[in-house]
Amino acid sequence: MINFDKNTLNRIRKITLHPIAVLIYGGIISYIFYLKSISSKEPYYSISSPILIANSTDQAKDLEILWKERKIDNVKGIKLVIWNNGRKYIDTHDLIESSPITLKNKGKVKILSIEQEDQSRIGIKFSSRINLEDSLNSATFNLLNDEALEYKDGAVFNIIYTDIKQEKWELKGRVKGVPKGFASKKISEIDTSSNMNSIYILGILLALIIIVRFIIFKIKNKTVVFRQWELVFISIIIFQVFYTFIKSTYYNVSLEWLFN
DSSP 211-240: HHHHHHHHHTT------HHHHHHHHHHHHH
Query: What integer pLDDT is reported at residue 16 of this predicted model?
Result: 65
Decide the pairing of beta strands 154-165 and 126-131: unpaired
Rounded distance between C-alpha atoms, residue 51 and residue 260, angstroms: 16
Question: Helix, strand, coil % (nearest 5) of the chain?
Answer: 35, 30, 35
Query: What integer pLDDT is reported at residue 253 of this predicted model?
Result: 45
Rounded distance between C-alpha atoms, residue 134 and residue 109, angstroms: 11
Query: What integer pLDDT is reported at residue 1 of this predicted model?
Result: 47
Query: What integer pLDDT is reported at residue 179 of this predicted model?
Result: 84
Extract the residue ranges of the chain whose pLDDT is less than 50: 1, 253
| Cα dihedral value 16, 22, 25, 31, nearest 10 | -160
Q: Are 257 and 156 in contact (CB under 8 A)?
A: yes
Q: What are the angstrom distances between the C-alpha of 118 and each of 87, 163, 256?
A: 21, 25, 11
Query: What integer pLDDT is reported at residue 258 of this predicted model?
Result: 65
Q: Which helix (H) or strand (E) holds 257?
A: none
DSSP 8-state assignment for residue 57:
-
- What type of residue is 241? V
Rounded distance between C-alpha atoms, residue 214 and residue 25, angstroms: 23
Closest C-alpha to 172, from 163, 181, 164: 181
Number of H helices, E strands in the chain: 4, 14
Query: What integer pLDDT is reported at residue 142 of this predicted model?
Result: 94
